[in-house]
Amino acid sequence: MLDGERVSPKIGKFRPSATLLLKAVAGERRAEGKPVFDFGLGETKGSLAPHVREAFLRAISTEQTMYGDPAGLPELRQAVLAWLGLERAGYGVENVIVTNGAKQSLFNVFLAVCNPADCVLFDAAPWVSYQPLASAAYAFPVMVVPRAGAGNRLKVTADDLRRNLDLRPHAKLFLLNNPVNPTGQLYDADETEALLAVCVERRVYFVLDRLYWRLLFDGRSFPEPRVDDQTRPWLIQVDGMSKNFRRAGGLRIGWSVAPSDVARAMANLQSHYTSGPSTPAQHASLAAISRPYQGGLREELESNRDLLARLGPKPPRVEIWPTPASFYSFWDVRGCFGLKAPDGVEMRSSDDVAAWLARSEGVITASGSAFEQEGYLRLSFAVPPEELLEGMEAARRAIAALG
């Protein structure tokens, strides 16, 4: 074996996310007793709801720790249908697969439907793991570039999708993340329906990653995809526990709802590679989604979003996009390019601006380069309001110091 062949070239190309590098800067600042404002990680804070914690502990104390159904607990799969309003939509428990986080649902989709080199289309600012997961499944990831560019807040239209499908006869699926991580945008009902209709017409799967679907602001409701005999064979929905509940990302529970043949393939697949997710975590998730959804987290995030919008002086040369959903503020920082930091470093990329914010004021963000959108930063505002206020002032100081 040659040295360069010890790791598969495909996987060897993977890099840890850029936010990890900024974490190291944050660690150094903390060690020096300097303030750090962490807007980098996409995770809700606060406490796990007591009934969720108790369900987990009860599963342990009653020893529900043997292997379960590889596709997930039947009662959780039934509850998922109710949670998504799909009980009377022509689906049964066999259409629901419970996974180790939404991430594994996505990987299952790529593995179950793609042949090597099949093309998978993503929306214009794809979440960081879509491309590595698709590549690991030997599929070929392609980003749909909207003709309107950032003019439509990077949203893909039906025409954009059609154009890309014309160019890619081997396209197997279009993956839409709604609400969008990282831009915080929401495709409305008409936009969603138009994209779904193109997929049905072209016989490609419409994969909807709806992980943030409960976190919508200003009274909006989630634009549910149309489910009928025409769409059902092409519609795959991915969702999970990690974002709509507090402190639940580490439970590692997600799920997908898919046409029967695809769901069967995914269940068979995961019977070999995970044997299904952890049973106590599934019980905790069942407790969480079996109650009517409490809007406390959403209200808190909406109030943070409003706080951000009301802040006094904004960072100069930065355009902050409106945030109708999710907990991400998306900043256009291209106005900083060409400027120099007091330490002499010129701002040439989102990575440079993110690195300057981190080393000058301890403000940790996610650089647009991780989402294929050079020129932008993503800031998670799922933090306590005091930290948000102080951190925003620190970000303003850092940007104002560029000249």
- Supply the minimum distance, in Å, between the C-beta of residue 39 and ligand PLP: 14
Residue 351 in contact with ligand PLP, rule: CB under 6 A:
no
Q: Which is nearer to ligand PLP, 297 or 394 (CB)?
A: 297
Among 127, 205, 222, 331, binds ligand PLP (CB under 6 A): 127
Residue 102 interacts with ligand PLP (CB under 6 A): yes or no: yes
- Does residue 362 interact with ligand PLP by CB under 6 A? no
Phi, psi torsion values for 135, nearest 5 degrees? -65, -40
Phi, psi of 367 (to 5 degrees): -75, 145
**Pairing between β-strand 140-143 and β-strand 119-122 as defined by DSSP bridges:** parallel
- Collect all residues with Cβ–Cβ distance below 8 Å to 227 and sequence separation of at least 6: 86, 89, 90, 91, 235
Q: Is 245:211 a contact under the CB 8 Å cutoff?
A: no
123 binds ligand PLP (CB under 6 A): no
Give the three-state DSSP class for 37.
strand
Nearest to ligand PLP by Cβ — which residue?
Answer: 101
CB-nearer residue toward ligand PLP: 19 or 181: 181
Would you state the torsion angle of the CA atoms of residues 90, 120, 144, 85, taken in this order, to the nearest 10 degrees?
20
Member of 77, 103, 153, 396 binding ligand PLP (CB under 6 A): 103
- By CB under 6 A, name the one of 249, 315, 368, 391 that touches ligand PLP: 249
Contact 252, 276 (CB under 8 A): no
Q: Beta strands 328-332 and 376-380: pairing type?
A: antiparallel
Sorted by sequence, the CB contacts under 8 Å of residue 242 that are 6+ apart come out as: 43, 101, 102, 211, 248, 249, 251, 254
Q: To the nearest whole angstrom, how small is the minimum distance from the Cβ of residue 378 to ligand PLP?
A: 10
Which one among 38, 118, 160, 209 touches ligand PLP, defined by CB under 6 A? 209
**Using CA atoms, how far apart are residues 129 and 199, in angstroms rounded to an integer?**
22
Work out whether 380 is an interface residue with ligand PLP (CB under 6 A). no
- Single out the residue of 152, 153, 156, 178 nearest to residue 165, CA to CA: 156
Residue 271 has which token pair?
Answer: 């019977």
We find the least distance from the C-beta atom of residue 231 to ligand PLP, in angstroms, to be: 21
Nearer to ligand PLP, 70 or 182 (CB): 182
Of the ranges 98-106, 155-163, 220-228, 260-268, which one interacts with ligand PLP (CB under 6 A)? 98-106
The region of 95-103, 193-201, 272-280, 311-319 touching ligand PLP under the rule CB under 6 A is 95-103
Task: Point out which span in 21-29, 68-76, 96-104, 370-378 binds ligand PLP (CB under 6 A).
Answer: 96-104
The stretch near ligand PLP (CB under 6 A) out of 97-105, 117-125, 194-202, 331-339 is 97-105
Asked if 146 touches ligand PLP (CB under 6 A), the answer is: no
State in angstroms the smallest separation of the CB of 101 from ligand PLP. Answer: 3
Q: How far is the CB of 249 from ligand PLP (least distance, A)?
A: 5
C-alpha closest to that of 127 among 178, 168, 193: 178
Q: Residue 240 interacts with ligand PLP (CB under 6 A)?
A: yes
Contact between 56 and 248 under an 8 Å Cβ cutoff? The reply is: no
Burial (CB < 10 A; 0-12, 13-18, 19+), residue 238, is buried
Q: Can residue 399 be called a binding residue for ligand PLP (CB under 6 A)?
A: no
Least Cβ distance, residue 100 to ligand PLP (angstroms): 7
Q: What ranges make up the beta strands (E) of 162-246?
A: 171-177, 205-209, 235-240
**Distance separating alpha carbons of residues 78 and 304, to the nearest angstrom:** 34
Say how many residues make up the chain.
Answer: 403
**Complex with ligand PLP: residue 103 or 305, whichever CB lies closer:** 103
124 lies in the binding site for ligand PLP (CB under 6 A):
no
Q: How far is the CB of 1 from ligand PLP (least distance, A)?
A: 33
Question: Is 182:332 a contact under the CB 8 Å cutoff?
Answer: no
Can you give the binding site for ligand PLP, defined by CB under 6 A?
42, 101-103, 127, 177, 181, 209, 211, 240, 242, 249, 254
